[in-house]
């Protein structure tokens, strides 16, 4: 039983770096990054880890498709319930406007706007966290 407990504690320590890597500071990754507008193809269903994200394919300089991750600040329903579900499907052609990661080896973009070319459906992303303590009338 003691070995079983030690093993579980060991697994817990292994999981910590993964959780820390998944959550990052927007400013640290994207602050000062290049503003871009890119055509892309959705390659995955949207997910949260912990930010909203979706994997896409973007044509690189050589014309070959490269996998990228598009992230944006999540929205919740107006009643404060579950996060909004985004209608994006693999194969959708989109135009992404956002800020590229400062480290250009990272194939990541903080999206400000995503538009599906087939029907014009647009997702606008918040760029800053709301100050919940601020008076909304100011």
**Burial of 114 by CB count in 10 Å (0-12 exposed, 13-18 middle, 19+ buried)?**
buried
Q: Which pLDDT belongs to residue 136?
A: 42
Q: What is the pLDDT of residue 8?
A: 54
Spans of all domains in the chain:
25-124
Among the four given CATH numbers 3.90.950.10, 2.60.40.1480, 2.40.50.1010, 3.40.50.620, the one describing domain 25-124: 2.40.50.1010
Instruction: Give me the pLDDT at residue 37, please.
Output: 96
What are residue 27's phi and psi, to 5 degrees? -65, -40
Q: Is 88 helix (H, G, I), strand (E, B) or coil?
A: coil
Q: What is the 8-class DSSP label of residue 76?
A: B
Task: Report pLDDT for 132.
Answer: 47
Say what the pLDDT of residue 75 is. Answer: 63
The rounded average pLDDT for each run of 10 residues, N- to C-terminus, in the chain (138 residues) is 59 48 66 90 86 92 94 69 80 96 91 96 75 44
Q: Would you state the pLDDT for residue 86? A: 82
pLDDT at 96: 97
Q: Which pLDDT score is estimated for 76?
A: 58
């Amino acid at each position: 039983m003691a070995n079983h407990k030690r093993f579980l504690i060991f697994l817990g320590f292994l999981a910590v770096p993964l959780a820390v890597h998944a959550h990052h500071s927007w400013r640290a990754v994207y602050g000062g990054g290049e503003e871009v507008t890119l055509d892309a193809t959705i390659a995955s269903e949207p997910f949260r880890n912990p930010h909203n994200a979706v994997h896409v394919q973007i044509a690189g300089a050589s014309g070959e498709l490269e996998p990228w991750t598009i992230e944006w600040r999540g929205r919740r329903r107006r009643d404060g319930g579950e996060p909004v579900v985004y209608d994006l499907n693999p194969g959708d052609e989109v135009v992404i406007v956002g800020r590229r990661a400062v480290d250009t080896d990272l194939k990541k973009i903080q999206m400000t706007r995503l538009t599906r070319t087939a029907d014009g459906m647009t997702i606008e992303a918040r760029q800053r966290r709301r100050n919940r303590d601020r008076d909304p009338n100011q």
